[in-house]
A and B are shown apart, each in its own frame.
Chain A
Amino acid sequence: MSIGSEKVTEAKASRGSRSPGRSGKIANLESADVEFINVTKTFNDSNAVDDLNLRVEAGEFFSLLGPSGCGKTTSLRMLGGFEDPTKGRILLGGQDVTNLPPYRRDVNTVFQSYALFPHLNVYENVAFGLRRQRIEKNEIKRRVGEMLEIVDLPNYEKRQSSQLSGGQQQRVALARALVNQPKLLLLDEPMSALDAKLRRQMQIELKRIQTQVGITFLYVTHDQEEAMTMSDRLAVMWHGRIEGMGSPKDVYDSPTTEFVASFLGASNLLAGTIVSSSSGRTTIAIDGGGTIAVPSDRVPDLGGSTAVKVGVRPEKIGINLAGTAVAPGHNSINGRVRVSTFTGVGNQYIVETTLGVDVTAYAQNIGHQTAPRSGEDVVLSWPEEHTFTVKPLPTTVEINETEGD
């Protein structure tokens, strides 16, 4: 092994200098905790991450969301120090860490497979990072005990990791990372091995822990529901680029690209052309016939083109029997119910519209009226301000929504 002793002592010194102030709470003074500046990562001539610019604020729960192969995990690994960026810089709390090895970054990771040390028990797993930092024995004991308390695994110190369930292993992995009180915690799809019920429970748990310890969380997932449940902000990634970023509500309600609209939740997207725009209202002629009105501030910059896709979320659409009057300020489409599915919390309809395309609508099961049945003629309507528009993708590009990893 060619690692010189100077590197080791250097690492120790850099950690030693910051340990005195790290006994209790983390200082949340720096504003930007993480910054990617024009970061590109190339594997075999293809860009896994393509000119990424991203800022995560201190104390934020931030999610990188996207299908497998979108570059989210690569971004996380570059931040953890496991991959070197091909181009660009990465800042952590204002300090350039682009070329620092993992052990010199004030960042800890919860790995997808947990990656617990199979030869160590729970206590030693959690204490691993503290021991490397030469923290005093009693202090290690106190902090490990405290952390196992937080993740709800007291009295598990002596267990071997092979004796733990998936959920327990995940908690140990979390404790092992958090016990070091890093500036930033990276989580790489930590829930992917858990079943749905446990996953929901852990989401709430994780959010509670994040609030309690006040550390910045950077969470990578392909599960949109998970990302929306926990995140303060999220970014949707596709093909190594960020397609949309903001609070879950903003990104969901006002998707900026066709990919975001279809990846994050379900969307009805209708191709059309802008025909006129006046007094804050833009009118769009839909390809199959008819017009739809959109508030002008919800039309993105189309770069001179007038081709656009109009979108509306299924749950924003009201479904009524044909002939029902449409309220002013609403868009409407006529059609016939093709499929009506009862899902318990509501009814999902697939409506064959007069425009020649199918539109999905969703009505909550609040039992005040009889649901339209398949074959019945209906009118779909929704408020104009619930309509959004996105720039259409070139038709050759296919959105691959498959969840992977």
Chain B
Amino acid sequence: MEQLVPPDHPGGVALRRKRRVGRALAPYLLSLPSGLWLLLLFIVPLLLMLSLSLKTCSPSTGACVMAWHWGEFSSQISLYHQEFITSLYFAAAATLVDLVISFPIAYWIAFYGGRRKNFFLLMLLVPFFVSFVIRTIVWEFVLSNNGVILGALKNIHLLPHGFHILGTSYAVMAGLAYNYLPFTALPLYVALERIDRRVLEAAYDLYATKRVGFMKVIMPLTVPGIFAAFLLTFIPMFGDYVNQEILGGTSNTMIGTVIQNQFLVTLDYAGGASLSAILLVVALLGIFLYARLLGSRTIEQYL
């Protein structure tokens, strides 16, 4: 049979070259929609924010002019380092609380959940179908001075009349811990669920008691999950302002509140942008540390 287009035919060569170019371009074309999405909605705003932190803005008109004002970062840090420290402290404490609370939950679901694992995970997530702000406002009711808990405890004289939680740093930490619990529990669950039960049996077979099996097999294999949980919880908590706004009253300002104020109240765009940039650097440092210690590949498994 004759070939329709002989290999040496000039038209055939052109056709095949065209096909080859098309094949080489295919991956780029396929990634175009998501690439554009990233560019327009992530990279451009990020660059805008970074450039904004180097501009000077007029407080009256809000117009900003590029001034290459690198000093903005250091002046913001010296102005608000106390808020940074408060945020760090709140986020760290709430993350620790979350780890302590969610480890047993995740452990129990992963090892004893049986066929109902997905149901239990759903139960864990159900409160989070409600908006973040509404959940936090409900917490305001729960913790209020004469609310369900404190009111009842005061009525039976278990607590002094003047006792309050709302407006204290404890309320903020409680709110943070509550709102971010799934971000801790889920990576922990994934890590625990992935542990091969036969590896655990092998440990028992090699004279490990349940306790030793837990310490020498389960814990080391859960470390990447703990670190992922830490990152996923700590970083958003660090920049959170809603909990402090609603539950924390006027004291113990967190850095997120400062940024929000600068953008929406004092209209200090450059200051807000530079503080945001500093927050971003802190988050990146955390992820970089994770990648160095545990390898970048493991991050993907938990996100």
Contact A115/B202 with A1-B214, A132-B212 known, Cβ cut-off 8 Å: yes
Contact A176/B210 with A115-B199, A117-B199, A118-B199 known, Cβ cut-off 8 Å: no
Quick check: is B221 within 8 A (CB to CB) of the other chain? yes
Taken together as a complex, chains A and B put the C-alpha atoms of A115 and B211 apart, in Å, by 19
| CB neighbours of B220 from chain A (8 A) | 119
Contact A115/B198 with A1-B211, A3-B211, A132-B212 known, Cβ cut-off 8 Å: yes
Quick check: is A166 within 8 A (CB to CB) of the other chain? no
Quick check: is A103 within 8 A (CB to CB) of the other chain? yes
**Which B214-241 residues have a C-beta within 8 angstroms of A?**
214, 216-217, 220-221
Indicate the size class of the contact surface on chain B: 20 to 34
| CB neighbours of B210 from chain A (8 A) | 1, 3
Residues 165-190 of chain A, each 1 if its beta carbon lies under 8 Å from chain B, else 0 = 00000000000110010000000000
Report yes or no: A118 in contact with B207, Cβ–Cβ below 8 A: no
| CB neighbours of A3 from chain B (8 A) | 209-211
Interface centre among A107, A108, A132, by most chain B C-beta atoms within 10 angstroms, is: A132
Contact A102/B221 with A111-B198, A115-B199 known, Cβ cut-off 8 Å: no
Nearest chain B CB to A296's CB is how many angstroms away?
49
Quick check: is B203 within 8 A (CB to CB) of the other chain? yes
Quick check: is A11 within 8 A (CB to CB) of the other chain? yes
Report yes or no: B211 in contact with A8, Cβ–Cβ below 8 A: yes
Contact A132/B206 with A82-B201, A115-B196, A119-B220 known, Cβ cut-off 8 Å: yes
**Which B187-209 residues have a C-beta within 8 angstroms of A?**
196, 198-199, 201-209
| CB neighbours of B217 from chain A (8 A) | 117, 119
Contact A111/B209 with A118-B221, A119-B220, A119-B221 known, Cβ cut-off 8 Å: no
The listed residue (A1, A101, A109, A119) touching B202 by CB distance below 8 A is: A109
Report yes or no: A128 in contact with B211, Cβ–Cβ below 8 A: no
Report yes or no: A128 in contact with B221, Cβ–Cβ below 8 A: no
Quick check: is A81 within 8 A (CB to CB) of the other chain? yes
Interface class of chain B by DSSP: helix
The listed residue (B198, B205, B211, B214) touching A108 by CB distance below 8 A is: B205
Identity of the chain A residue whose Cβ is nearest the Cβ of B195 in the assembled complex: A118
Nearest chain A CB to B64's CB is how many angstroms away?
52
Residues 103-146 of chain A, each 1 if its beta carbon lies under 8 Å from chain B, else 0 = 10001110111011111000000001100110000000000000
Report yes or no: B207 in contact with A11, Cβ–Cβ below 8 A: yes
| CB neighbours of A101 from chain B (8 A) | 204, 209
Report yes or no: A103 in contact with B198, Cβ–Cβ below 8 A: no
| CB neighbours of B216 from chain A (8 A) | 128
Quick check: is A338 within 8 A (CB to CB) of the other chain? no
Quick check: is A298 within 8 A (CB to CB) of the other chain? no
The listed residue (B199, B204, B214, B221) touching A103 by CB distance below 8 A is: B204
Interface centre among A1, A8, A117, by most chain B C-beta atoms within 10 angstroms, is: A117
| CB neighbours of B201 from chain A (8 A) | 80, 82, 102, 109, 111, 115
Taken together as a complex, chains A and B put the C-alpha atoms of A354 and B203 apart, in Å, by 61
Taken together as a complex, chains A and B put the C-alpha atoms of A2 and B224 apart, in Å, by 26
Taken together as a complex, chains A and B put the C-alpha atoms of A108 and B207 apart, in Å, by 9
Taken together as a complex, chains A and B put the C-alpha atoms of A80 and B204 apart, in Å, by 10
Interface centre among B207, B209, B220, by most chain A C-beta atoms within 10 angstroms, is: B207
Report yes or no: A132 in contact with B202, Cβ–Cβ below 8 A: no
Quick check: is A7 within 8 A (CB to CB) of the other chain? yes
The listed residue (A1, A81, A113, A128) touching B206 by CB distance below 8 A is: A128
Nearest chain B CB to A73's CB is how many angstroms away?
12
Quick check: is A15 within 8 A (CB to CB) of the other chain? yes
Report yes or no: A180 in contact with B202, Cβ–Cβ below 8 A: no
Nearest chain A CB to B297's CB is how many angstroms away?
12
Report yes or no: A113 in contact with B203, Cβ–Cβ below 8 A: no
**Which B94-141 residues have a C-beta within 8 angstroms of A?**
none
**Which A316-365 residues have a C-beta within 8 angstroms of B?**
none
Taken together as a complex, chains A and B put the C-alpha atoms of A259 and B196 apart, in Å, by 35
Nearest chain A CB to B212's CB is how many angstroms away?
6
| CB neighbours of A180 from chain B (8 A) | 206-207
Identity of the chain B residue whose Cβ is nearest the Cβ of A102 in the assembled complex: B204
Taken together as a complex, chains A and B put the C-alpha atoms of A14 and B217 apart, in Å, by 23
Taken together as a complex, chains A and B put the C-alpha atoms of A107 and B201 apart, in Å, by 13
Interface centre among A1, A80, A101, A107, by most chain B C-beta atoms within 10 angstroms, is: A1
Taken together as a complex, chains A and B put the C-alpha atoms of A111 and B208 apart, in Å, by 16
Identity of the chain B residue whose Cβ is nearest the Cβ of A120 in the assembled complex: B220
Residues 3-27 of chain A, each 1 if its beta carbon lies under 8 Å from chain B, else 0 = 1000110010001000000000000
Taken together as a complex, chains A and B put the C-alpha atoms of A112 and B196 apart, in Å, by 13
Identity of the chain B residue whose Cβ is nearest the Cβ of A104 in the assembled complex: B207
Nearest chain A CB to B39's CB is how many angstroms away?
37
Nearest chain A CB to B191's CB is how many angstroms away?
12
| CB neighbours of B208 from chain A (8 A) | 103, 128, 132
Contact A128/B209 with A1-B214, A117-B217, A119-B220 known, Cβ cut-off 8 Å: no
| Extra 14 A-B pairs, beta carbons < 8 Å, given A111-B202, A118-B221, A128-B206 | A3-B211, A103-B204, A103-B207, A103-B208, A108-B206, A109-B201, A109-B202, A116-B199, A117-B203, A118-B199, A119-B220, A128-B208, A132-B212, A177-B205
- Chain B residues in the interface with A (C-beta under 8 A): 196, 198-199, 201-212, 214, 216-217, 220-221
Nearest first, the 4 A-B pairs at minimum CB distance are A129-B206, A132-B207, A115-B198, A115-B202
5 contacts between A and B (CB under 8 A): A82-B201, A109-B201, A129-B206, A133-B207, A180-B207
